């Protein structure tokens, strides 16, 4: 099967990191097809960046569905554009935030999320409530690391994330850690070994969930809010999104 992994920002080095994490856990015979939009923010740090990135995500989905994709992964921890993507895509769509939260809930009674900047905390807390997992989360912590600092091997980003994990174990009684940014995908294994508890990153979790959905023959329900878009005129760059329900 082929799985499209979409990095919603335009930073190529992050796309490559995300693709490597996805391929590390993909089953034999699964091809990872990693993409990013041609236009949009170089990183997603808050609601404004999210809004700007959604058209690019949908454009990537439109391209991917012409290539016999088994499913799409949205590799932004905020699950940017997830509802719109599920309406538009024929194949299943999984966001890395939702995937990571569910995986953490299977291996720990209580987990803490460690993300990049404090401005991302409200969106993540909202998603935890929406997914019904807020009561399992000991807190959402920010390491105060800009997303692009995760691409700089000389930055203090990893040390700052590790420090927040120490505080989460001590103060939140965390039994597992969820890394709240796709740019942290390469850190999970080493941080897990360092701190002696499960550390979950969402790219791997989402890829495995897409594989399972495909094997089980499950696709997005078209009853309710994720029904296909109604036919209506769309102009300019949005014409590609016109389709019959």
The enclosing domain of 132 has a CATH number of 3.40.50.12500
108 and 197 share a domain? Answer: yes
Number of domains in the chain: 2
User: What average pLDDT does this structure show over 17-35?
Assistant: 96
221 and 179 share a domain? Answer: no
- Structural domain for 183, as ranges: 97-201
48 and 86 share a domain? Answer: yes
Give the model confidence (pLDDT) of 135-176 as tens digits.
999 999 999 999 989 988 889 999 999 999 999 999 999 999
User: What average pLDDT does this structure show over 46-70?
Assistant: 93
* Proportion of the chain above pLDDT 90, given as a percent: 89
Angle between helices 202-215 and 12-25 (to 10 degrees): 50
Give the model confidence (pLDDT) of 121-131 as tens digits.
999 999 999 99
pLDDT at 86 over 70: yes
83 and 67 share a domain? Answer: yes
102 and 193 share a domain? Answer: yes
Q: Are 61 and 72 in contact (CB under 8 A)?
A: yes
212 and 91 share a domain? Answer: yes
Give the number of other CB atoms < 10 A from CB of residue 153.
7
d(CA 146, CA 183): 10
At 66, is the pLDDT very low, low, confident or very high (cuts 50, 70, 90)? confident
154 and 234 share a domain? Answer: no
101 and 173 share a domain? Answer: yes
Give the model confidence (pLDDT) of 174-198 as tens digits.
999 999 999 999 999 999 999 999 9
For the whole model, what pTM was predicted? 0.93
pLDDT of residue 243: 60
pLDDT of residue 240: 74
Give the number of other CB atoms < 10 A from CB of residue 183.
30
Q: Which of 114, 160, 152 is nearest to 17 (CA)?
A: 152
d(CA 112, CA 75): 19
């Amino acid at each position: 099967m082929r799985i499209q992994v979409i990095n919603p920002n335009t930073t190529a080095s992050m796309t490559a990191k995300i693709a490597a994490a996805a391929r590390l856990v993909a089953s034999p015979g699964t091809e990872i097809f990693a993409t990013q939009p041609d236009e949009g923010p170089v990183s997603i740090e808050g609601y404004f960046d999210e809004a700007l990135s959604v058209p690019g995500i949908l454009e990537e989905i439109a391209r991917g569905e012409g290539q016999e994709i088994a499913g799409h992964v949205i590799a932004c921890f905020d699950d940017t554009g997830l509802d719109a993507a599920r309406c538009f895509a024929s194949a299943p769509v999984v966001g890395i935030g939702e995937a990571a939260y569910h995986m953490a809930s299977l291996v720990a009674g209580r987990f803490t999320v460690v993300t990049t900047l404090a401005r991302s905390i409200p969106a993540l807390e909202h998603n935890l409530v929406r997914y019904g997992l807020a009561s399992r989360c000991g807190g959402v912590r920010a390491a105060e690391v800009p997303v692009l600092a995760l691409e700089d091997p000389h930055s203090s980003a990893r040390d700052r994330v590790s420090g927040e994990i120490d505080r989460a174990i001590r103060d939140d009684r965390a039994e597992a850690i969820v890394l709240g940014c796709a740019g942290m995908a390469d850190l999970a294994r080493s941080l897990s070994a360092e701190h002696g508890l499960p550390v979950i990153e969402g790219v791997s979790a989402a890829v495995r969930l897409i594989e399972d959905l495909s094997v089980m023959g499950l696709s997005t329900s078209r009853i309710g809010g994720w029904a296909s878009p109604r036919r209506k005129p769309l102009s300019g760059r949005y014409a590609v999104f016109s389709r019959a329900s």
